[in-house]
């Protein structure tokens, strides 16, 4: 399973570390219950998606349905999955992953954000596996992704932390859960 233990923060460039550590502290969530909206906003800026994050966060807070945005996200994610080259034996994994996306979108539309975030972790894990194969299972995967592109590596660091620390998901309010989802959704929509 692709996950990112707290020690992986050490491989992040200095310019990323403050916002990354605010989102997921290296020692876990002993002092607070989970990420905050402010940490998610700062992380979005660091990840290069701050403008989109703020726009869609504003839509969410004003009860405007972000359906167009979710449709763009789904279309782009479907395209990423379909266009990823894999061995013939892995084609079923792509189909299985494509089948996970509509229920994930339904969780978001139904405001079941804790379920959506847990499902998103699974989707991102499978996506990493399609992109990187066995490399994503190695302990130096984040370092590898950072060498490809620093922001790309930062995104996979975020993805791995979603999978690593599920305990925080049940302990935060729905706004924070949506903000955490929005980080990955904005990144993949613009990918």
Token readout for 90 is 């892995």
Residue 14 lies in a domain: yes
Tell me the per-residue pLDDT of 130-163, one tens digit each, with 9 for 90 and over. 899 888 889 889 899 999 999 999 999 999 888 7
The dihedral formed by the CA atoms of 91, 120, 153 and 24, expressed in degrees to the nearest 10: -160
| In a domain? residue 22 | yes
Residue 28 DSSP label: -
SS3 content of the chain, % helix, strand, coil (to 5): 80, 0, 20
* Residue 158 belongs to some domain of the structure: yes
pTM of the entire predicted model: 0.88
At residue 60, does pLDDT exceed 80? no
Domain containing residue 159: 6-190
**7-16, 76-85, 118-127, 168-177: range with lowest mean pLDDT:** 7-16
Of 13, 49, 8, the C-alpha closest to 28 is 8
pLDDT tens digits, one per residue of 100-124: 999 999 999 999 999 999 999 999 9
Pick from 172, 143, 129: which is nearest to 32 by CA? 172
Structural domain includes residue 1: no
- pLDDT category at 5 given cuts 50, 70, 90 is low
Neighbours of 11 (CB within 10 A): 19
**Residue 104 domain flag:** yes
Please give the tally of structural domains in the chain.
Answer: 1
127, part of any domain: yes
- 139 inside domain: yes
């Amino acid at each position: 399973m692709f996950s990112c233990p707290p020690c992986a923060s050490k491989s992040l460039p200095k310019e990323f570390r403050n916002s990354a550590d605010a989102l997921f502290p290296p020692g876990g969530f002993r002092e607070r219950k989970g990420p905050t909206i402010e940490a998610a906003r700062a992380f979005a800026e660091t990840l290069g998606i701050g403008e989109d994050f703020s726009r869609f966060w504003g839509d969410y807070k004003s009860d405007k349905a972000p359906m167009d945005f979710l449709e763009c996200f789904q279309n782009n994610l479907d395209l990423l999955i379909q266009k990823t080259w894999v061995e013939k034996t892995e084609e079923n994994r792509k189909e299985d992953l494509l089948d996970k996306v509509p229920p994930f979108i339904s969780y978001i539309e139904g405001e079941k954000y804790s379920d959506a975030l847990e499902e998103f972790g699974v989707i991102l894990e499978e996506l990493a596996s399609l992109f990187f194969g066995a490399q994503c299972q190695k302990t130096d995967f984040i370092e590898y992704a950072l060498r490809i592109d620093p922001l790309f590596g930062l995104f996979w660091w975020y993805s791995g932390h979603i999978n690593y620390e599920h305990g925080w998901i049940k302990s935060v309010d729905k706004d924070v859960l949506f903000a955490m989802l929005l980080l990955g959704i904005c990144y993949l929509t613009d990918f």
